[in-house]
Amino acid sequence: MKKQIFTLIGALFTIAAFAQTPATKIVLTKGQKIVVSTTVSIASKSMGVDATSNSTNENLLEVKQATDKDYTVSSTLTKLKLSMDAPGAANSYDSEKKEDQETELGKSLSEKLNKPVDITIDNTGGTVLKSPKPEAKKDDENTSPMLSLLSNIGESGSDEAVVSGAFQLVPKGKKPGDSWSDSTIDKEFKVRRVYTFKSNADTGAVVQLNTTVESSGTVELMGISMEMNTTTETISDIVFDIATGLVKRKSTEANTTGSMQLMGQSVPMTAKATTVSVYK
């Protein structure tokens, strides 16, 4: 009897250990659907002017194709609620309110709703391999510079970001307490990421991601092109299913400092963004 009990206990420990073994690839099936609910709050200051932005949105992710190397995931923005406030300009939009569809802001944002965008990612890390090129944005002549700036800061809601942010893997051999890093450098961005494997429990594994983004480039506000240089420090806590790589919840705090070159002068700017995404 004792031998049978010890055998049973050993089997249970084996099953538990197997269930918590990190996946080496993202596990998805064709036709699988994931609903992503995201809230974003942004507060910025530039030229001595304060502005805020708050938004909630819902995306539907659906696995269109699954191969042994990659997945094609369709991202569809299904709901959007947005409010932006700056001196002399305040805008709001709710996709579920019919009257909001007739405003200028509503007409612009409504074009983004219910339009699937296919994103192809590799299954070993969720890196985007293929996605449509975004259309160039043109601000209306009456658009507030601060509202445009808030829009530029809040680009985490892009289809690429929503899809790639739905997955997290732990490198083989890493255990709680271990860290690893990577970086991306191109003409306008330098991105450095440091991952720390914080814990592994039945409720979900946790990875903390510290990201530094240095950006330089030209932005267009009210038809005027200006140089913008920013540095953003971000801390994210990512809770995910370690056996499949699917994220359950991601909370992020980002702090941005930088400057814009306006009419020959350097104008300082700061911004703080808080983002929470839930994946079901």
Pick from 256, 211, 222: nearest CA to 88: 222
Angstrom distance (rounded) from CA 200 to CA 195: 14
Mean pLDDT of 205-233: 85
Burial code (b: 16+ CB inside 10 Å, e: under 16) for 52-76 equals: ebbbbbbbbbbbeebeeebbbbbbb
* Dihedral sign, Cα of residue 56, residue 195, residue 256, residue 121: negative
Q: Tell me the mean pLDDT in the region 100-124.
A: 87
Q: What is the pLDDT of residue 154?
A: 45
Q: How far is CA 127 from CA 51, 121, 184, 208, 230, in A?
A: 33, 5, 12, 18, 24
Do 212 and 201 meet the contact criterion of CB atoms below 8 Å apart?
Answer: no
183 to each of 91, 132, 192, 194, 262, how far by Cα in Å? 37, 23, 4, 9, 31
- pLDDT tens figures, 203-218: 899 999 999 999 888 7
The H-assigned helical ranges of the chain are 2-19, 104-110, 145-153, 159-164
* Residue 198 burial (CB count, 10 A): 16
Q: How confident is the model at residue 7 (pLDDT cuts 50, 70, 90)?
A: very low
Contact predicate 270/44, CB 8 Å: yes
Q: Can you name the CATH fold of 2-279?
A: Lipovitellin-phosvitin complex; beta-sheet shell regions (2.30.230)
Residue 149 near residue 228, CB atoms below 8 Å: no
pLDDT of residue 144: 47
- The yes-or-no verdict on residue 54 having pLDDT over 60 is yes
Asked if residue 149 has pLDDT above 70, the reply is no
Output the pLDDT for position 168.
95
What average pLDDT does range 211-232 have in this prediction?
Answer: 81
How confident is the model over 160-208, as pLDDT tens digits? 889 999 999 999 999 999 999 999 888 778 999 999 999 998 889 999 9
Which helix (H) or strand (E) element contains residue 99? none
Predicted confidence band of residue 220 (pLDDT cuts 50, 70, 90): low
Q: Is the pLDDT of residue 142 over 80?
A: no
- Split at pLDDT 50, 70, 90, the class of 8 is very low
Whether residue 225 is predicted with pLDDT greater than 90 in this model: the reply is no
Pairwise pLDDT comparison (42 vs 264), residue with the higher score: 42
Answer for the pair 195, 181: CB distance below 8 angstroms, yes or no: yes
CB atoms within 10 A of CB 252: 19
Specify whether the CB–CB gap between 63 and 31 falls below 8 A. yes
Which tops the pLDDT comparison, 151 or 242? 242
Residue 253: predicted pLDDT: 96
Instruction: Write out pLDDT tens, residues 13-47.
Output: 333 333 467 788 999 999 999 999 999 999 988 87
CB neighbour list of residue 83: distance below 8 Å, 6 or more residues apart: 53, 54, 55, 90, 91, 92, 93
Round to whole Å and give the CA distance between 159 and 59: 9
Token pair for residue 119? 């994103």
pLDDT at 222 (0 to 100): 60
241, 243, 197, 247: which is closest to 15 by C-alpha? 243
Mean per-residue pLDDT of the chain: 83
**pLDDT attached to residue 13:** 37
